Amino acid sequence: MQTGGNTVLLAVDIGNTNVTLGLLIDGEWAATWRARTVHDKMPDEYAVLVNNFLQARSIDYAQVSAVVISSVVPPLTRTFVELSQRYLEVEPLVVSPAIRLGIRIDIDQPEQAGADRLVNAVAVTRLYGVNAIVIDFGTATTFDIVSADGAYRGGSIAPGIGVAHDALVSRAAQLHEINLVPPPSPIGRNTIHAMQSGIFWGYVALIEGLVARLKTAMREQGMGDPIRVIATGGLASLFDQHSAVIDELAPDLTLDGLRIIHELNAPG
């Protein structure tokens, strides 16, 4: 693939379950990939995987000119920093409150804000510019409040639906794994449908209930309408189909936030 001499950015979002990588060429996402998060995987092992991803797009290590990393897994932060330095020969930009983000971190302990939550807040501030609730469906489901004037105001963290499912199955001897989809009726007439009702529709109720309470709290704090609810993460589209509270799906929200942070911190 010809890159025209422009910046080729590798964006890396390291979550508790998956590592998402995006390749930005000429201002467009040329490819995105997902890999399992393995805490003790070595830089050399991930380097082989990243090289395979790049080669599938006819990109060599040497063509990557910038790397930006968001991580909530400290051991893998170090792994990908080393990978970038050794294999790509690029000093990566690691997201933290210490770099330019273009937002205010208006919470009690800014240093404790998860990098992924800050990245999403950056993207929403730049791309939408409205009062917003960002729902990110991952290992945890996070609800983040971003004000129209560009402040990250905190939010709420709930167990992800997969975590809730696994916890129930592991603690109840007669309950087994199920598909996380809505059953034919909320009234389950067998164990599988009863579990699907409780887990899936219970989770929809959690989403709708928290969104309602968060909107009330935002208005009490002077963040008035419109308040947009923006969803991202692996299961966002599934819940969007079964709840009216989500206004917009943004599957690349975190990658877009990483792109913006790279631009804010690029030399010149």
Measure the CA–CA gap between 124 and 141, rounded to whole angstroms: 17
Which run of H or E residues covers position 104? strand 104-105
**Per-position b or e across 6-37, b if 16+ CB within 10 A of its CB:** eebbbbbbbbeebbbbbbbbeeeeeebbeeeb
Measure the CA–CA gap between 257 and 255, rounded to whole angstroms: 5
Q: Which of 13, 60, 108, 116 is the catalytic position?
A: 116
Known catalytic residue at 116: yes
Measure the CA–CA gap between 145 and 147, rounded to whole angstroms: 7
Which residues contact residue 109 at a Cβ distance below 8 angstroms, ignoring those fewer than 6 apart?
A: none
Please list the active-site residues: 116
